[in-house]
Amino acid sequence: MPIITYREALNQALREEMSRDDRVFLMGEEVGEYNGAYKVSKGLLEEFGENRVVDSPIAELGFSGVGVGAAMVGLRPVIEFMTWNFALLAIDQVVNSAAKMLYMSGGQFNVPIVFRGPNGAALQLGAQHSQAFESWLSHIPGLKVVSPGTPYDAKGLLKSAIRDDNPVVFLEGEMLYNTKGEVPDHEYLIPLGKAELKREGGDCSIIASGKMVLIAMQVADQLAKEDIHVDVVDLLTLRPMDVEAIRASVRKTNRAVVLEEGWEVCGIGAQVVDYIQRDCFDDLDAPVIRVHQEDVPMPYAKGLEKLAKPDVAKSIAAVKKVMYRS
């Protein structure tokens, strides 16, 4: 199976879907002439022309609104945010227009749109450009939220997101674009709303999504050397969340650690913990522990930034704590 980058996997998904359905088009800052700020749209302008790959002005609210309008009249826009930090300017179109239109029009207008771009921190981009917004977006009824951590998942999920008839928020990662993984030549889709058990252990469940899955896998490798074997549940879709997959794992292991890139308060991990306490109370041998970003704006200083992020060491400590091994 070919090994390609996360970036190339997204590029393949866009190319395949644009070839398959001429209603699909890509719009955003620098997606055309510049081949995308992170080169995800490389070669697409050349292949599909400027009607299908549209360079927008630096006006997130404006081009998001154009996208929602286009979706309402039958096109299938993919709106690229250079990062989700910039999407704060467009949040009214995402939350108030895209997410609400089907409901408020009494079912007359569905909005088959994908909002995509990198989410969370990279390296030393400062407090304003290092934020993880998955809990904000997952909070909204009417949005589906997808957060793949591997090239294989990125491609299969982006294709499903584009084919979905309702708005999908697609969270990528600047630190993920260069990661590599096996992606088959043939076409495949990964269904929205399904988690994947990426590692089977039995001693503890680690529940993660997006780039935290990569941390979870490193944690699993390191703990295996100490004869601690963990389940890694990759949520893949944050909303609607695959609660059954979480339940199945926690009922087996009796303990859970939830990893998330964002802050602690009202974070997506809090929702995971709620599902666990609600459905698996009698299965728990220890309180569930969350590993998350420290409760501060992301520091610019390299050393402080490292300390603020959730990482392998913090996650290993959490697993040992729920196993009463610390």
Partner 1 sequence: MPTKIFMEALSPTMEEGRLVTWHKSEGDAVKSGDVLAEVETDKAVMELVARGDGVLLKRLVAEGTTAPVGSLVGVIGAAGEDISALLGGAVAASAGVSPGASPSSPAPTPHAAPTTPPAATTPAAPAPATPVAAPAGTGSAKSSPLARRLARDSGLDLGAVAGSGPGGRIIKRDIEAAVASGGAAMAASSAVSRPPSTVADFVDQPLTQIRKTIAKRLAESIGPIPTFYLTAEFDLTRVAELRAAAAGEGDEYKVSFNDIILKATATALGRHPEVNAHWLGDKIRFFNRVHLGMAVATDDGLIVPVIFDADQKGIGEIARESRELAKRARDRKLKPEEYTGSTFSVSNLGMMQIEQFTAIINPPECGILAIGALEDKAVVVDGELAVRKRLRVTMSCDHRVVDGAIGARFLQDLRRLIENPLMLVF
Residues that bind partner 1 (CB under 8 A): 254, 281-286, 324
Number of Cβ within 10 Å of residue 19's Cβ equals 11
Q: Which of 8, 17, 80, 129 is catalytic?
A: 129
CA distance 163 to 70: 15
Q: Which is nearer to partner 1, 73 or 324 (CB)?
A: 324
Q: Which is nearer to partner 1, 164 or 283 (CB)?
A: 283
Residue 129 is among the residues annotated as catalytic for this protein: yes
- What is the smallest separation between the CB atom of 323 and partner 1, expressed in angstroms? 10
- What is the smallest separation between the CB atom of 259 and partner 1, expressed in angstroms? 22
CA distance 211 to 163: 24
- What is the smallest separation between the CB atom of 253 and partner 1, expressed in angstroms? 10
**Nearest CA among 115, 181, 178, 188 for reference residue 156:** 188
CA distance 324 to 247: 21
Number of Cβ within 10 Å of residue 277's Cβ equals 14
The structure tokens 């290993």 sit at: 316
- What is the smallest separation between the CB atom of 7 and partner 1, expressed in angstroms? 44
- What is the smallest separation between the CB atom of 251 and partner 1, expressed in angstroms? 10
Residue 139 is among the residues annotated as catalytic for this protein: no
DSSP 88-139: GGGHIIIIIIITTHHHHTTTS-----EEEEE-S--SS--GGG----HHHHHT
**Nearest CA among 130, 107, 160 for reference residue 301:** 130
Q: Which is nearer to partner 1, 91 or 317 (CB)?
A: 317
Number of Cβ within 10 Å of residue 318's Cβ equals 23
Q: Which is nearer to partner 1, 56 or 254 (CB)?
A: 254
Q: Which is nearer to partner 1, 52 or 321 (CB)?
A: 321
Q: Which of 8, 17, 29, 60 is catalytic?
A: 60
Active site residues: 60, 129
